[in-house]
Amino acid sequence: MDRLTARQLFDGVHERMALRWVSGMRGEGRVLERGATTTRRPSLIGYLNVIYPNKVQIVGTEELNYLDGLDSRQRWEAIHKIAAYQPVALIVTKDQAIPSDLREVAEETNTPLWISAKRGHELLTWMQYHLARMLAPRITLHGVFLEVFSIGVLITGESGSGKSELALELISRGHRLVADDATEFTLIAPDVIDGTCPDLLQDLLEVRGLGVLNVREMFGHTAVKQSKYLRLVVHLKPLREGEDTDALTRLTGDVGHHEVFEVPVPRITIPVAPGRNLAVLVEAAVRNHMLKSKGIDPAQTFIDRQAHQMRRLPPW
């Protein structure tokens, strides 16, 4: 999602972070937006900062001691300055006593004020992760997403190319379904793309002629997986009559890249024709991809052997 309200954030983390909402309930509509800090120094969440304020400010022991060390006038100015920046929330750590003036200003300015039994670094670390995932860029791609030999594989192709039938065959061979037809991908790190299934399609696979199948009920709980990192795209391409393949492609395979969030994901194109066992071909493609990731390239090995053999031939 592109934005997150204070209420949505609280509902998402209050059980895990032992949060209680003590003041400023009317500020539940305050919003965190993706990219809100691109022109500012701080992150979305951090310890109390009155110069470059974070959108979610953590008030720990040191921060309360800092406020206690100010005279009454400076303290009044500091607290009102914090509230004037309209943070999404203030979080007091370790169940410390909340100063009455901080509570009053939060109520007057509709600033959500939360308290937690957790330590500051626990709140900071976990909520940074939570916010990064909740506000990360998302996209929905058409295809079937599976876990094949522990690798996240997205099977794409034209409508009617046999993606769902192939997925059903792979599931029957012990691999796992993540999502059918529409997979939601999230960029959770600069080069890490996580794929999940929309709630509406959870555990379901649509196969022409059979209708919608519940994979979990048919094959058991181990036949489905909640999420998986995208590592490989397998594209099914109908083999046209008279279409020929160049010599290099026959040697190396039809390999390329598919960009998702400007991240190049390896893509292998498999021609579809009657009599071809696509499930075996996909398994072989995944195994070969795993070998390449370890630096083992069979095609390059063959090329090197051929070059070595040619060097051994006597000159004409």
Lateral strand order in the sheet of 45-47: 19-23, 113-116, 89-92, 56-59, 45-47
Cβ neighbours of residue 222 under 8 Å, at least 6 residues apart? Answer: 176
- Token digits for 34? 């993706």
pLDDT (0 to 100) of residue 44:
83
Cα 270 to Cα 156, 159, 278, 285: the distances in Å are 10, 15, 8, 9
Provide the pairing of β-strand 113-116 with 89-92.
parallel
Element holding 307 (H helix, E strand): helix 298-312
pTM of the model: 0.75
Element holding 311 (H helix, E strand): helix 298-312
Enumerate helices (H) and strands (E) in the chain, giving the number of each.
10, 18
pLDDT digits 0-9 by tens, 23-63: 999 999 999 887 655 455 557 889 998 888 889 999 999 99
Strand partners, 184: 140, 196
Q: Which among 208, 185, 206 is positioned nearest to 195, based on CA atoms? A: 185
The residue behind tokens 């976990």 is: 126
For 31, the 3-state DSSP assignment is strand
d(C-alpha 115, C-alpha 106), whole Å = 13
pLDDT (0 to 100) of residue 113:
96
What is the amino acid identity at position 96? Q
Neighbours of 135 (CB within 10 A): 19
Averaged in consecutive runs of 10 residues, what is the pLDDT profile of the chain (316 residues)?
86 92 93 65 80 90 92 92 92 93 94 94 90 86 94 91 92 95 89 92 91 94 94 89 66 84 92 88 93 86 84 76
Cα 68 to Cα 48, 52, 87, 102, 178: the distances in Å are 14, 21, 21, 11, 53
Q: Which among 49, 258, 245, 42 is positioned nearest to 142, based on CA atoms? A: 258
d(C-alpha 30, C-alpha 47), whole Å = 19
Please list the active-site residues: 142, 163, 181, 250
Are the beta carbons of 53 and 87 closer than 8 angstroms? yes
Please give the radius of gyration of the chain, using alpha carbons only, rounded to the nearest integer.
27
Q: Which domains does the chain carry?
A: 3-134 (3.40.1390.20), 138-307 (3.40.50.300)
CB-neighbour burial class of residue 316 (10 A; exposed 0-12, middle 13-18, buried 19+): exposed
Cβ neighbours of residue 240 under 8 Å, at least 6 residues apart? Answer: none
